[in-house]
């Protein structure tokens, strides 16, 4: 039986067959996901996970696709996109947010209530689930700095609260969150001494991002992880690679750490450019740039 036919049994979960990943990722390019599921609540996610488990169907989970490059040859199985899993609550200094909320909206809400601890992460364009999974970071702060627990579902549909003490956050990854679906996260924030200073800090971070990053083009942020004692963008710039192109993909002139979809780039254009940058930087500096972005499917 074809995958699409099998999924007819899962009527309650919104599904799109052959969904173009160009519409679900910030690179705005990519092949089709065989099935894209857009669950709206935890029960629907549970149904989907149990169904995929019983039918032995491969599946992946995503948020806003702001760190994913989807191959032009498509993605087999199910992609479960949590962008419709909404809900946020702020009580005293405790912030609880569902995975599908925009991380930046959550940060804005906290800042407007005078709660500090997340403001340096302003402007990261992912979902809460994506930020937690990646331990997204910027300007000296990381998503996990003030997290107290994460609510997650395992591959059998069991839901558990994972206390921070059982999770090990590292640079752009968290040990203990592999193979699970993050449903929501809790942060313990602090009352700022001066709310106007806090709001100004957020605006300053947003201003710096607009000034330094090529936000006018589709991208998925920094392509590479920060090498030890160095910066990927500085190395790429030093090697004279700003403006380097492969098809419609280009190393940004504004920020060498970004590859932009300059002119209808195919996923292969972007992947080829990533590999060319890695090769040239290694030849000239001896540094192996490690990919931060996540490649999915066939290229």
Max Cα distance, the chain (Å): 62
Considering the candidates 122, 127, 222, 233, report the single residue annotated as catalytic. 222
Q: Which of 117, 129, 257, 267 binds ligand FAD (CB under 6 A)?
A: 129
Compute the least distance from the CB of residue 283 to ligand FAD, in Å: 27
Active-site annotation holds for 292: yes
Cβ at position 229, least distance to ligand FAD in Å? 19
Burial class (CB in 10 A: 0-12, 13-18, 19+), 224: buried
> Please, which residue, 15 or 136, has the CB nearer to ligand FAD?
136
How near is the Cβ of 290 to ligand FAD at its closest, in Å? 14
Among 50-58, 127-135, 225-233, 248-256, the segment contacting ligand FAD (CB under 6 A)? 127-135
Note whether 224 and 232 are within 8 A (CB).
Answer: yes
Active site residue 202: no
31 binds ligand FAD (CB under 6 A): no
Question: Which of positions 226-285 make contact with ligand FAD (CB under 6 A)?
Answer: none
Interface residue with ligand FAD, options 51, 59, 64, 217 (CB under 6 A): 64
Neighbouring-strand partners of residue 237: none
CB 29 within 8 A of CB 52: no
Q: Which stretch binds ligand FAD (CB under 6 A): 56-64, 70-78, 88-96, 239-247?
A: 56-64
- Residue 172 annotated in active site: yes
150 is a site residue for ligand FAD (CB under 6 A): no
| Token pair 């940004």 in the structure block, residue | 252
Q: What is the DSSP letter of 299?
A: -
Interface with ligand FAD: number of residues (CB under 6 A): 32
Euclidean distance between CA atoms 263 and 268, whole angstroms: 13
Minimum Å gap between C-beta 9 and ligand FAD is: 24
Residue range at the interface with ligand FAD (CB under 6 A); choices 34-42, 123-131, 198-206, 247-255: 123-131
Reported in sequence order, the residue ranges of the chain that DSSP labels E, i.e. its strands, are 15-20, 32-37, 59-62, 68-70, 75-81, 88-91, 94-98, 115-116, 137-138, 141-142, 147-153, 159-163, 168-170, 173-175, 181-188, 190-191, 245-246, 249-251, 259-261, 294-296
* Residue 82 engages ligand FAD in binding (rule: CB under 6 A): yes
- DSSP lists the bridge partners of residue 258 as 222
Per residue, what are the HEC states of 182-198? EEEEEEECEECCCHHHH
Give the other-Cβ count within 10 Å of 58's Cβ.
12
Q: Which sequence positions are flagged as catalytic?
A: 172, 222, 292
Give the interface with ligand FAD as residue ranges (CB under 6 A).
Answer: 26, 60-68, 82, 99, 124-127, 129-131, 133-134, 136-138, 181-182, 213, 215, 219-221, 294
């Amino acid at each position: 039986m074809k995958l699409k036919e099998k999924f007819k049994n899962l009527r309650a979960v919104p599904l799109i067959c052959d969904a173009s990943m160009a519409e679900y990722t910030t690179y705005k390019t990519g092949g089709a996901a065989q099935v894209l599921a857009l669950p709206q609540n935890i029960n629907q996610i549970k149904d989907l996970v149990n169904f995929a488990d019983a039918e032995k169907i491969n599946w992946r989970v995503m948020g806003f696709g702001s760190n994913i490059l989807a191959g032009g040859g498509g993605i087999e199985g199910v992609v479960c996109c949590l962008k419709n899993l909404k809900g946020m609550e702020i009580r005293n200094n405790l912030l609880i947010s569902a995975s599908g909320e925009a991380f930046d909206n959550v940060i804005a809400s906290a800042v407007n209530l005078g709660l500090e601890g997340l403001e340096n992460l302003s402007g990261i364009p992912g979902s809460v689930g994506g930020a937690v999974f990646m331990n997204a970071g910027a300007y000296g702060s990381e998503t996990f700095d003030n997290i107290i627990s994460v609510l997650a579902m395992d591959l059998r549909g069991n839901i558990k609260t994972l206390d921070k003490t059982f999770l090990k956050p590292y640079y752009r990854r968290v040990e203990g969150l592999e193979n699970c679906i993050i449903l929501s996260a809790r942060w313990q924030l602090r009352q700022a001494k001066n709310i106007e200073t806090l709001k100004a800090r957020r605006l300053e971070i947003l201003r710096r991002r607009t000034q330094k990053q090529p936000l006018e083009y589709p991208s998925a942020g920094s392509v590479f992880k920060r090498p030890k004692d160095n910066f990927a963008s500085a190395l790429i710039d030093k090697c004279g690679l700003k403006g380097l192109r492969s098809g419609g993909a280009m190393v940004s002139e504004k920020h060498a750490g970004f590859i932009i979809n300059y002119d209808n780039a195919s996923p292969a254009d972007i992947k080829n450019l990533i590999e060319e940058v890695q090769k040239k930087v290694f030849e000239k500096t001896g540094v192996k740039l490690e990919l931060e972005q996540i490649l999915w499917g066939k290229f």
